[in-house]
Amino acid sequence: MNSSRLFSSLYNANLSIGRVQTPTLAMIVERDYKVKNFVKEKYYVIELDCGNFVAFSEKIEDLETATKITDDCKGKSAKVTELKKEKKTVNPPKLYDLTTLQREANRQFSFSAQQTLDATQKLYEKKLVTYPRTDSQFITDDMVSSTTALVGDIYSKLGVSDYDVDVSKVANNKKVTDHHAILPTSESLKADLSALPENEQKILKLVTLKLLCAVAKPYIYEAVTAKIECSGHDFTAKGKSVISTGWKQIETQVKSALGMKVNNNDKNEDDKSLTVTEGQTFENPTCNTLEKWTSPPKHFTEDTLLSAMETAGNKDYELLEHGSDIEKKGIGTPATRASVIETLIRKGFISREKKLILSTDKGANLIKIAPESVKSAKLTAEWETVLQNIERGKADADSFMADIESLTRSLVSENATASSEHASSFSHTPQNAQVIGKCPKCGGDVIETLKAFSCGGGKGDCKFILWKSQFYKPNALSATQAKKLLEKGKTDKIKGFVSKKTSKSYDAFLVLKSDFSVGLEF
C-alpha cells in the first residue's frame, strides 16, 4: 500500500505495487523482453537414414563442416558401435492441488486460472468435488480405504471390472496441511453431468481422470540408444519399447469413456521402436544436411505462469518442473494466484491474448522504476515462507513486521524523487484513449478509464475526475451522460439511485458544482 502511494505520487499515475503482483509482473516483463530481443541462430544437423531407423549428428554450427560430413558419409557403410538399453519407469501423476488443476485446464481447455477456480468452487458447493483451495497433492492415511472404494465405484460406473490400483501411494500425512488433494466425491457418481454447465463438466472429468491415473501402475519402457559410426563420424539413434502401459493406458481408456479428447500427437522420434544389434552394419545409408534455427523462449501462458509463480523463489526450478518433491518456495497461494493475474489485467499491466499472457507498455514501465526489493520474486517467496512459519508458531510476527517497517522506510527515503529518465513514462493520455470532452478545470482532454472519466492532458497538477459510480450507484455515469455533464453541467435524469440510509430508490440529475465535484439535483 505504501509503495503504491509512493510511486503513484512520484509519477502522477495510478500505479499499483503488490508483494505478489509486482514480482509476477516482473517475470512477465522479463520473459517478453527475452522473446522480443532474441536473435535466432542457424545450425545444422546431419540425418543418416539407415532404412529401418534414422540417426542424427550433434549440432553443427557452420555449413562447411556439415557439408564435409555429408560428403564423407555418402556411399559409405554405417556400423552400430555401441548399444545401450535401459529400463525406465514413469510413475503416475500426482493428484491435483488447485495450481496443477488450473495449469491442466489451461492446457486442455484454454481456461483462465480464475475460470478454473470458479468452476471448481461451484462443483464444491454442489458437493461434487472436495475443497478446491488446497496446495496438497496427497490424501491422509486414514482416507485410503474410502478412496479405494470411491475408485472402485467410478470404475463400476464406467463399466470396467478388471483394474489394479494402489491408493496408498497417494497417501502421506506429512504432505497434507490444511486440506488434502482435490478429489471427486461419491455424490458426483449420482449426478447428471449433462445438467452441469460445460466448464464444470470438464473440470469434474479432469479431477476424476487424475484420481484414476494417480492410483494406477507405473508406465514402464525400455529406452534404446545406439551409437552409429559412418566414415569416422558419430551419429545417435534412439527408440523405445513399452514393457507395461500402466497409467498411460488408463488415461487413454478413461478419456475415451468420459468423452474427452484423446491426444495422439505427442509422439516423437524417440517413441519409435529401435531393433538393432551391436556390430550390425548398414550399406550406403542416405545422408542429408538439415538446416535448423535456435528457438526463442516462449511467452507465458497461464499454465506456465502459474508454474513460475509456484516455484519463483526456488533455484531448483528444473527439478520442480520434472516432479521433484523438494520444497517449493513460490509467490502467492493456490487460492490467490488467479486473482493476482486478473488484477494485473484489470489494471492494465498485462493483457491476455488468446492463451498468451503479455506485458503492456504500462507494465514494462512500472518494472523499470520499481526497486529490486519490490519486484524480487525471491524476497516475496521468503516472506511467504516466514508467514507460514508464523502461522505454525515457528517464527515471530513482531520481528517480521519490524523488518517490513524498516523496508518501507528505506523505500520512501531512497525514492524521494522520480527518475528523470522515466519521469514521462506514464502518459496521462493512454494510446487510443477515448476522449469524451474538455476538462472544465484546465481545458485538457477528459478520457475514459476503467472506473472513471479523468483529465488526461491537463496543465499542471489538475487531477479532475468523474467517477463512474456515483452516490452508491454502480456505473451511474455512462460516457454519454459524462459528455453531457461536461458540456452542459448537468446529465439527463438517471434512474435507480438507492439511499444508503433508507435503502429507498430515487431518480435524480447529476450536476457539476463550482468546485468541480458532482452533486444531485431532483
**Residues assigned a catalytic role:** 131
CA proximity to 495, closest of 481, 482, 513, 508: 508
Beta-bridged to residue 222, according to DSSP, are 87, 241
Q: How distant, in Å, are the alpha carbons of 258, 385, 394, 396, 409 from that of 406?
A: 56, 19, 22, 16, 5
**In whole angstroms, what is the distance from residue 191 CA to residue 207 CA?**
15
Q: Chain centroid to CA 120: how far?
A: 17
Backbone dihedral angles phi then psi of residue 146, each to the nearest 5 degrees = -65, -35
**In whole angstroms, what is the distance from residue 166 CA to residue 144 CA?**
9
CB atoms within 10 A of CB 309: 28
Cell representation of residue 127: 458437493
Q: What are the DSSP E strand ranges found in 231-348?
A: 233-244, 281-283, 286-293, 300-301
**In whole angstroms, what is the distance from residue 336 CA to residue 21 CA?**
10
Q: How distant, in Å, are the alpha carbons of 50, 145, 152, 156, 215 from that of 188?
A: 54, 18, 14, 13, 19
**In whole angstroms, what is the distance from residue 394 CA to residue 378 CA?**
20
Cβ-Cβ contacts under 8 Å for 34 (sequence gap 6 or more): 296, 297
For 446, what's the count of Cα atoms within 13 Å in the CB-facing half-sphere?
24
- The residue whose grid cell reads 449426478 is 191
Beta-bridged to residue 358, according to DSSP, are 351
